Amino acid sequence: MSDGTVVLGIEGTAWAASAALYDTETDEVSISSDAYQPDSGGLHPREAAEHMREAIPAVVEDVLDGADSIDAVAFSRGPGLGPCLRIAGTAARALALSLDVPLVGVNHMLAHAEIGRHRSGFDSPVCLNASGANAHVLAFRNDRYRVLGETMDTGIGNALDKFTRHVDWSHPGGPKIERAARDGEYAELPYVVTGMDFSFSGIMSAAKEAVDDGTRIEDVCFSLQETTFAMLAEVAERALSLTSSAELVLGGGVGQNQRLQAMLGEMCEARGVDFFAPEARFLRDNAGMIAVLGAKMLAAGDTIAVADSRVDSGFRPDQVPVTWREETEVQWGERSTEDTLQGAEALVEIDGERVRKRRLPKSYRHPTLDERLRRERVVLEARLTSDARRQGVPTPLVLDVDTAETELTVEYVGESDLRAVLDSKEGTSCVRDVASHLATLHEAGIAHGDPTTRNVRVSDSGDDRTHLIDFGLGHYTDDVEDHAMDCHVFEQSLAGTAADPESLREAFETAYAEVGDDDVQERLRAIEGRGRYQ
Ligand SMILES: C[C@@H](O)[C@H](NC(=O)OP(=O)(O)OC[C@H]1O[C@@H](n2cnc3c(N)ncnc32)[C@H](O)[C@@H]1O)C(=O)O
Ligand SMILES: Nc1ncnc2c1ncn2[C@@H]1O[C@H](COP(=O)(O)OP(=O)(O)OP(=O)(O)O)[C@@H](O)[C@H]1O
Ligand SMILES: [Fe+2]
């Protein structure tokens, strides 16, 4: 009999009927899973639920065989397909009652994130979840996992699966795309990143059109991987830069893809960041990750009464008060005196009053895509930085642009970034400045594209104390959606970097309303409310 705690995990959010036992003493995880394979098309919720009903008892029996005692039952409360969640939830409740042990309700996406942290032993990593119905970057701050960036439409796996349905390949499509991509060459597809958010629908339409127009399917598969995974690697890199974390973990079924793992590994190596991808059995949906997080929650006393254990198909990771982790020290209070800084995109060299920003090639990206992005961005950054200044928004003076070398030289501004002063008494007034600067830009038909708390420079004194920098993801647009996305990106970065994001967010919105368009705030609410489980 184990001297530790033994937790039975149950997973049934979509396709995997899975049970697992986790023993905290040995750290061993045994998993038994039964996958639902649709006869045709994608996952049918009713059929998937039927599969849960049939398969869960057998996988539970399988892992319980030979077990001495169970201390708790942990199950996925969501997100997932409602009919599946309900059946798996009913099974978990019945087991907890019959074994007379506590029930633990686990957020499936946090389990995807935590299993990497657990297996790696990392302390406070950024987590990239690349799964079927989700794609997001998470970082822990102030008792919560904050969503620093996420898909604005479908999850990455679902996007890939929809493409393979279009070409009549059977479900799941991800592994088939990976195989076909081995014989492919690069063909251009749209690339869509705003701040740390991204979207796949435009890319998928373009990919479908490309095969319909006769582009080799291998080339489309190759380019789909190169494009969508480069986007994920880029947002992960932005999140590492924003949080100054030196650790990245990967989670989710698409995380099994070797090309994605290689790209992330290469990106991290270039930054001096440790990267960890759990074994495949912990990446795809599995009850092992539910049991492991369940054990941590149980140890923190975070159990749930059966009567309160309703499932939630739209359960977001940032809804969960995190009981099982200590708050980690944040060190970005100090002001950097270094003269070379590694941003997410560029190497920044500070030489007195001049700042030279070099967008060096990123070896993880396909060279054609890499060159296109660097060139486009240096040109846009120079133009938008100057145009914003003309509109009265404080930005650095542009001193030199070298398109061929993708280098930009600008004036040095501010004494620190906004991130470093957010929690001080100047924080609120700087956040208000950002709001009015963004509103001014929006009125002038400009979106910043990446207004995070690191892309705002703050001076100790003077009239124009708050400068916006780093316009590389910006564009000229009158679309209220783009303006609202700027606000969304800024608010997400507040959540990821401020001790009290709520009051700063209020200050931001009040100040924005004084100058900006009401439609933007309305759209901001719509963006936040978009169901991400599709
Ligand atoms: C809510 C929950 O039900 C959902 N789970 C889920 O989607 O299953 P997961 O096992 O994490 O991911 C499945 C996806 O992972 C993709 N996939 C599997 N192997 C792949 C590979 N080698 N390359 C690319 N995609 C792959 C599949 O095509 C499928 O879309 C989620 O976590 O979003
Ligand atoms: N004009 C400037 N004046 C003062 N500091 C600057 C200036 N430009 C850049 N920096 C410093 O260099 C850092 C990185 O610059 P920048 O944001 O432009 O690069 P990046 O690679 O796009 O970074 P990220 O995407 O991580 O924001 C900034 O956070 C800031 O600390
Ligand atoms: Fe999943």
**pLDDT score of 284:** 98
What interhelical angle do 427-443 and 480-497 show, nearest 10?
160
134-143 pLDDT, tens per residue? 999 999 998 8
Q: Is the CB of 469 under 6 A from ligand 2?
A: yes
Please say whether the beta carbons of 350 and 412 come within 8 A: yes
Of all protein residues, the one whose alpha carbon is nearest to atom 23 of ligand 2 is 343
Nearest residue to 533 via CA among 203, 255, 319, 313: 313
* Cα–Cα distance, 395 to 393 (Å, whole number): 6
402-438 pLDDT, tens per residue? 999 999 999 999 999 999 999 998 999 999 999 999 9
Question: Which portions of the chain are predicted below pLDDT 50?
Answer: 333-335, 532-534
Give the pair of three-digit tokens for residue 192. 């869509």
Please say whether the beta carbons of 410 and 396 come within 8 A: yes
Q: Is the CB of 133 under 6 A from ligand 1?
A: yes
Distance 169 CA to ligand 1 centre (A): 16
Q: Give this complex's ipTM.
A: 0.96
Give the pair of three-digit tokens for residue 231. 């986007």
* Cα–Cα distance, 35 to 39 (Å, whole number): 13
Please say whether the beta carbons of 441 and 451 come within 8 A: no
* Cα–Cα distance, 162 to 204 (Å, whole number): 8
- Ligand 2 nearest-atom number relative to CA 472: 22
What Cα–Cα distance (Å) separates residue 115 from each residue in 148, 298, 361, 433? 19, 16, 32, 40
450 is catalytic: yes
**pLDDT score of 152:** 93
Of all protein residues, the one whose alpha carbon is nearest to atom 18 of ligand 2 is 470
Provide CB contacts within 8 A for 370, sequence distance 6+: 361, 362
**pLDDT score of 1:** 65
pTM of the predicted structure, to 2 decimals? 0.95
Residue that has been written with the tokens 């198909």 in this structure: 313
What Cα–Cα distance (Å) separates residue 136 from each residue in 92, 129, 146, 149, 533? 28, 5, 10, 6, 12
Of all protein residues, the one whose alpha carbon is nearest to atom 14 of ligand 2 is 343
Please say whether the beta carbons of 516 and 490 come within 8 A: no
Give the pair of three-digit tokens for residue 413. 């501004």
Provide CB contacts within 8 A for 8, sequence distance 6+: 19, 20, 21, 60, 63, 64, 67, 70, 72, 73, 74, 95, 99, 291
Distance 160 CA to ligand 1 centre (A): 9
In testing the pocket of ligand 2, which one of 197, 469, 492 has its CB within 8 Å of the most ligand atoms?
469
Nearest residue to 327 via CA among 83, 136, 499: 499
Phi, psi (rounded to 5 degrees) for 338: -65, 155
**pLDDT score of 387:** 98
Give the pair of three-digit tokens for residue 256. 């099994």
411 burial type by CB count under 10 A (0-12 exposed, 13-18 middle, 19+ buried) = middle
Of all protein residues, the one whose alpha carbon is nearest to atom 12 of ligand 1 is 253
Residue that has been written with the tokens 């480069």 in this structure: 230
Q: Is the CB of 452 under 6 A from ligand 1?
A: no
> What average pLDDT does the structure give for the chain?
95
Q: Is the CB of 160 under 6 A from ligand 1?
A: yes
Where is the binding site, in residues?
A: 108, 112, 129-133, 161, 174, 178, 257, 285, 357
Give the ligand whose atoms come closest to the C-alpha of residue 317: 1
* Cα–Cα distance, 365 to 373 (Å, whole number): 10
Give the ligand whose atoms come closest to the C-alpha of residue 459: 2
Distance 214 CA to ligand 1 centre (A): 28
Distance 13 CA to ligand 3 centre (A): 7
What interhelical angle do 201-212 and 156-166 show, nearest 10?
20
Q: For 308, what's the count of Cα atoms within 13 Å in the CB-facing half-sphere?
A: 8
Q: Is the peptide bond before 175 cis (omega within 30 degrees of 0)?
A: no
**pLDDT score of 483:** 97
Please say whether the beta carbons of 276 and 249 come within 8 A: yes
Q: Is the CB of 284 under 6 A from ligand 1?
A: yes
Give the pair of three-digit tokens for residue 385. 């930085």
In testing the pocket of ligand 1, which one of 37, 129, 162, 284 has its CB within 8 Å of the most ligand atoms?
284
Sheet harboring 28-35: ordered strands across? 28-35, 16-23, 6-11, 72-78, 103-107
Within 10 A of 459 (CB to CB), how many other CB atoms are there?
Answer: 16
Q: Is the CB of 362 under 6 A from ligand 2?
A: no
Give the strand pairing for 466-468 and 456-458: antiparallel
3 state SS for 346-405: CEEEEECCEEEEECCCCCCCCHHHHHHHHHHHHHHHHHHHHHHHHCCCCCCCEEEEECCC
State the catalytic residue, choosing from 450, 470, 482, 486: 450
Q: Is the CB of 473 under 6 A from ligand 2?
A: no
- Ligand 2 nearest-atom number relative to CA 347: 21
Q: Is the CB of 455 under 6 A from ligand 2?
A: yes
Sheet harboring 340-342: ordered strands across? 340-342, 347-351, 354-358, 407-411, 398-402
Provide CB contacts within 8 A for 159, sequence distance 6+: 153, 200, 201, 203, 204, 228
**pLDDT score of 332:** 52
The size of the chain, in residues, is 534
Q: Is the CB of 251 under 6 A from ligand 1?
A: no
Provide CB contacts within 8 A for 59, sequence distance 6+: 17, 18, 19, 32, 33, 34, 287
What are the chain's domains? Answer: 6-115+283-318 (3.30.420.40), 121-281 (3.30.420.40), 416-529 (1.10.510.10)
Please say whether the beta carbons of 198 and 231 come within 8 A: yes
* Cα–Cα distance, 190 to 377 (Å, whole number): 15
In testing the pocket of ligand 1, which one of 176, 285, 290 has its CB within 8 Å of the most ligand atoms?
285
Give the strand pairing for 72-78 and 6-11: parallel
Nearest residue to 26 via CA among 49, 45, 5: 5
User: Three-state DSSP class for 219?
Assistant: helix
Distance 397 CA to ligand 3 centre (A): 47
